[in-house]
Amino acid sequence: MRDENAVTGRSVRRALGILRVLAENSRGLGVTELAERSGLAKGTVHLLLKVLEEEGFAEQDGLTRRYRLGREARRLGVAVVRGTDLREIARSHLGALCDRAGMPAYLATLVGDKAVLIEKAEPLVPLVAVLPVGTPLPFHSSALGKVLASHLAPERQRTLLDLWGTPAFTENTITDREAVLREWERVRREGVANDGEESLPGLSCVAAPVRDGAGAVVAAISVAGPSQRVEADRAHLAALVREAARGISLQLGWQEHQHNAEG
């Protein structure tokens, strides 16, 4: 009996070793690479992958033939992350983004039918007024709100428009409902949202989506600053915001290979 237990334990440890290697390589690995990185024979890796694939813990890309974590492994990751505070994970990324951009950085999420600011980081000498945590954000004019709305189902989007309307905050605010829907579609497609003085005169923002282990958009992150400065450096700021969003998403269990499949 002890010999059987030893064999079973060894097989479990080897399978877990393969899962660890896959978790560290989101783009996937071939059998040869897996064997090299796990220290196992290719035949053993083949056998273990077959079992992991059958149970949903590993999957093979039909084009590249590489293996990566499967749906069950991602589901367990999501379950773990649900017990983790999104704000806690995002805090260091917000601070780094704020330092690099020299502007306030914000994190927002959906709370019922509202987009709400839940965390922020501000420079020592803010160039603009900093919004307090708890501030509700418009879906049609703020960059954060646009990101959150853009990844909702069409029925939910129209419900939000019915509920909140599209009031004009500045002369740049998009107030036509169909134009707002087109803007949300553009944001979803391009992965970045802009607010060019649409919510407040003189203030512009850039935002990007944060995803969880299942690939769902659970939050949005942004920087905000004087319009002249943001417009002059928008491409660079967009890259910084995307990088921060990517960092938070990876900690939440998202894998980069999911991006193309989920948009």
- pLDDT single digits (tens) 119-163: 999 998 777 888 888 899 999 999 999 999 999 999 999 999 999
Asked if residue 78 belongs to a domain, the reply is no
* 32 and 117 housed in the same domain: no
d(CA 215, CA 187): 16
Asked if residue 76 belongs to a domain, the reply is no
Q: Average pLDDT for residues 15-39, to the nearest whole number?
A: 84
d(CA 224, CA 55): 46
Asked if residue 79 belongs to a domain, the reply is no
Q: Average pLDDT for residues 237-245, to the nearest whole number?
A: 97
* 57 and 108 housed in the same domain: no
pLDDT for residue 205 is more than 90 = yes
Last residue of a domain, one of 18, 44, 69: 69
Share of the chain above pLDDT 70, in %: 89
* 89 and 216 housed in the same domain: yes
Q: Do residues 73 and 253 lie in contact, with contact meaning Cβ atoms separated by under 8 Å?
A: no
* 63 and 149 housed in the same domain: no
Give pLDDT, residue 219. 95
**Residue with the larger pLDDT of the pair 81 and 86:** 86
* 42 and 65 housed in the same domain: yes
Q: In this structure, what CATH number is given to the domain that contains residue 35? A: 1.10.10.10
Asked if residue 243 belongs to a domain, the reply is yes
* 144 and 250 housed in the same domain: yes
- Of the listed ranges 22-36, 47-61, 157-171, the one predicted with least confidence: 22-36
Q: Which amino acid, 201?
A: P
pLDDT for residue 242 is more than 90 = yes
Give how many domains the chain has, as a whole number.
2
* 158 and 64 housed in the same domain: no
Q: What is the mean pLDDT of the chain?
A: 87
Asked if residue 213 belongs to a domain, the reply is yes
Q: Which residue range is the domain that position 191 belongs to?
A: 84-262
Last residue of a domain, one of 30, 46, 69: 69
